Amino acid sequence: MPEHFRALVVILVLAGVVFYMARRPASDLIPAKDFTRRRNLWFVLTVLAFVSHSFWIYVAVTTILLTVARKREHNPVALFFILAFLVPPAQARIPGFGLMNYFFDLNYVRLLSLCVLLPAFLALRRQSDTQGFGRTWPDKFLAVYLVLTSLLLLRETTVTDTMRQTLYQFTDVFLPYYVASRALKNINDFKDALLGFVLAAMVMSLIGFFEFARGWLLYSALIGAMGMQWEMSSYLSRGGLLRASVTTGQAIALGLVISAALGFYLYLQQSVRSKLQRRLGALLLAGGLFAPLSRGPWMGALAMFLVYIATGEKVIKRMMLLGCAGVLSLPALTLVPGGQKVLDLLPFIGTVEVENITYRERLIDNSLLVIQRNPLLGTFDYRKAPEMQVMIQGEGIIDIVNTYIGVALSYGLVGLTVFVAFFATVLFGIRKSMRSFPDKDDEGRRLGRALFATLAGIMVTIFTVSSITIIPVVYWSVAGLGVAYVRMVRNLKQTAPAVTASAHLQLR
């Protein structure tokens, strides 16, 4: 049996276990029919990917299935999230048929965006209660960022290629942000969407832990079986252990996705009645976060938990408990089998691949020298600078493992300022809206805490990784969720001025 068929069997079994175990707790959050319909679509599209043996056949059939599914779907964000990580986002070029070299690069996530988010965008624009784009500060900063980056592309490439890159900005940045920021209008919408993301991450967690334990990347053979090539999805190890990547192509990208899901889970778990199921879900996500052996997402997850605790009740007590647990766990690990290996993997404490931390420090130092030469708008040939040439690694590449540095090098301090200002205004808006709920344990405030902490954790994580594979879609979408939360709270206050937002949420 070919490897990709053997992998399919394993994936279906593992995913079946997750969906079976999640069925009952999911019914505490969303209607059972929605869970069943999305689960079945997930299985159909997964099987189709492995048996199609052609990316273009997969695109054609998936387009039809998504078109049908979209008409039955009331929450496009939930549908997008549960399907976003289904297959690797390897790209294939749509030929130009003599009119041009090629039209544009298509991958699975971009296909999903065109089939699910684009129709949702067009429908939302026609709704009278949808706020026009550009009326909030995050909208303004995003618009400036998209225009700036598109115009700066003209310095280095052709008009035709700039048009392609602008299309990618629309499908990969604008659509995830816009639909997430406009489609969710009440607490139930948020529960639905966040559950879709968490369910997808739970499936990835179990598959990732299997990859880690068995030393087998289950999706690696799928790329070749579909007649495609992808520089990602290679076997990487750390400390003699395989780093899981599942469909993301890179271990650190998988870690970021699962750490974001953990942030969402902090909110969702409160609505699950069974304490055992809540603990099993947390354990599954924790195992999935460990499987990629990526220290950046670990640091981001820690920052996320600290922020979540800091915005809740009994802050000092819970911080002290968390600190004591961390201090006591370190010597305890030396006493259990395999504990020392875990310690060696930890950032700033362990001894495994400490040169990666040194590389990141050198990258910042050298990049600052290059940025000083083109401080305002950056340059696209920064890799040719002597300071960057000395950063070439054994693979012959210069890995810009820092999203902020990458933005500053390409688009200068102007681009970096707009990029950071976008996320800062989203975080500020969430924090301000949370104050509408005086009770720190109120459901509306807990949702805000989870979104605030998740986005803060992502901002920490991307300090350690460039915006590769699925990562940009995640952080633009989560930012959109934050804007939707701010708008929901504002609408509640406007429609019920005599009633607290907390009380009105219960009357939805």
What pLDDT, in 10s, does the model give residues 178-190? 999 999 999 999 9
More confident residue, 93 or 393: 93
Per-residue pLDDT, averaged over 75-99, amounts to 91
Q: Which domain holds residue 214?
A: 3-313+353-506
Is 60 exceeded by the pLDDT of residue 205?
A: yes
At 333, the pLDDT band (50, 70, 90 cuts) reads: low
Pair 341, 465 in one domain:
no
Q: 64-78: b or e for each residue (b if 16 or more CB lie within 10 Å)?
A: eebeebbeebebbbb
Q: How many domains does the chain have?
A: 2
Strand partners, 242: 237
pLDDT band at 136 (very low <50, low <70, confident <90, very high): very high
Helix or strand or coil: residue 94? Answer: strand
- Among 59-73, 221-235, 349-363, the range with the most confident prediction by mean pLDDT is 59-73
Taking the CA atoms of residue 99, residue 105, residue 107 and residue 111 in that order, the dihedral angle to the nearest 10 degrees is -50
| For residues 102-117, average pLDDT | 95
The domain boundary residue, chosen from 296, 331, 352 = 352
CA-CA distances (angstroms) from residue 205 to 178, 222, 458?
A: 28, 19, 18
Numbers of helices and strands, H then E, in the chain: 22, 4
User: pLDDT above 90 covers what percent of the chain?
Assistant: 74
> Is 480:179 a contact under the CB 8 Å cutoff?
yes
Q: What pLDDT, on the 0 to 100 scale, is given for residue 324? A: 82
Residues 73 and 164 in one domain: yes
Structure tokens at 322: 């968390």
User: Residue 345: pLDDT above 60?
Assistant: yes
Q: Region 93-104: what's the mean pLDDT?
A: 80
Average pLDDT over the chain reads 91
pLDDT of the residue at 313: 84
Among 226-230, 267-271, 421-425, the range scoring the smallest mean pLDDT is 226-230
Tokens of 297: 């997402």
Residue with tokens 């969906």: 19
What tokens were used for 159?
Answer: 């008009």
Q: Are residues 103 and 233 in the same domain?
A: yes
Q: Is the pLDDT of residue 312 over 60?
A: yes
For the ranges 10-24, 204-218, 321-335, 406-420, the lowest mean pLDDT is seen at 321-335
Rounded to 10°, the helix 3-27/187-214 angle is 140
Q: Is 90 helix (H, G, I), strand (E, B) or coil?
A: coil
Residue 249: partners with Cβ closer than 8 Å, 6 or more residues away: 88, 89, 90, 230, 232, 233, 468, 469
Residue 507: per-residue pLDDT: 40
Is it the case that residue 89 has pLDDT exceeding 80?
A: yes
User: Can you give the pLDDT at residue 505?
Assistant: 53
Question: What is the Rg, in whole angstroms, of the alpha carbon atoms belonging to the chain?
Answer: 22
**209: exposed, middle or buried (C-beta count within 10 Å: 0-12, 13-18, 19+)?**
buried
Alpha helices in 215-274 (DSSP H): 220-225, 251-268
Q: Is 90 exceeded by the pLDDT of residue 141?
A: yes
Element (H, E) at 155: none
Long-range contacts at 276-280 (CB < 8 A, ≥ 24 apart):
277/21, 277/24, 277/25, 278/25, 280/21
Residues 130, 214, single domain; the answer is yes
pLDDT per residue as tens digits for the range 351-365: 788 888 888 999 999
**pLDDT value at 334 more than 70:** no
Q: Do residues 69 and 132 both lie within one domain?
A: yes
> Which phi and psi (to 5°) does residue 101 adopt?
-60, -50
Residues 12 and 29 reside in one and the same domain: yes
The band of 508, judged by pLDDT with boundaries at 50, 70 and 90, is very low
Q: Work out the pLDDT band at 23, boundaries 50, 70, 90.
A: very high
> What is the pTM assigned to this prediction?
0.94
325 and 279 together in one domain: no
Domain end residue (candidates: 323, 352, 381)? 352
**pLDDT above 60: residue 316:** yes
- Tell whether the model's pLDDT for residue 270 goes beyond 50: yes
CB atoms within 10 A of CB 178: 23
Claim to verify: residue 93 and residue 24 sit in the same structural domain? yes
Q: What is the pLDDT of residues 442-484, one digit of tens each?
A: 899 999 999 999 999 999 999 999 999 999 999 999 999 999 9
| pLDDT score recorded for residue 499 | 44
327 and 309 in a common domain: no
Phi-psi region of 353 (alpha: psi -120 to 50; beta: other; left: phi over 0): left
Task: Compute the average pLDDT of residues 258-273.
Answer: 96
Of 325, 352, 379, which residue constitutes the final position of a domain? Answer: 352
User: With 70 as the cut, is the pLDDT of residue 206 above it?
Assistant: yes
Same domain for 331 and 409, yes or no, is: no
CA distance 343 to 164: 46
Rounded to a whole number of angstroms, the distance between the first and last alpha carbons of the chain is 53
Does 191 lie in the same domain as 105?
yes
Tell me how far apart the alpha carbons of residues 482 and 412 are, in angstroms, rounded to a whole number: 26
Q: What is the pLDDT of residue 438?
A: 80
**Shortest CA distance to 58 belongs to which of 224, 220, 226?**
226
Q: Is residue 242 domain-shared with residue 341, that is, in the same domain?
A: no
Q: How far apart are CA 494 and CA 496, in angstroms?
A: 6
Position 125 scores a pLDDT of: 95
Q: How confident is the model at residue 492 (pLDDT cuts 50, 70, 90)?
A: confident
pLDDT of residue 326: 75
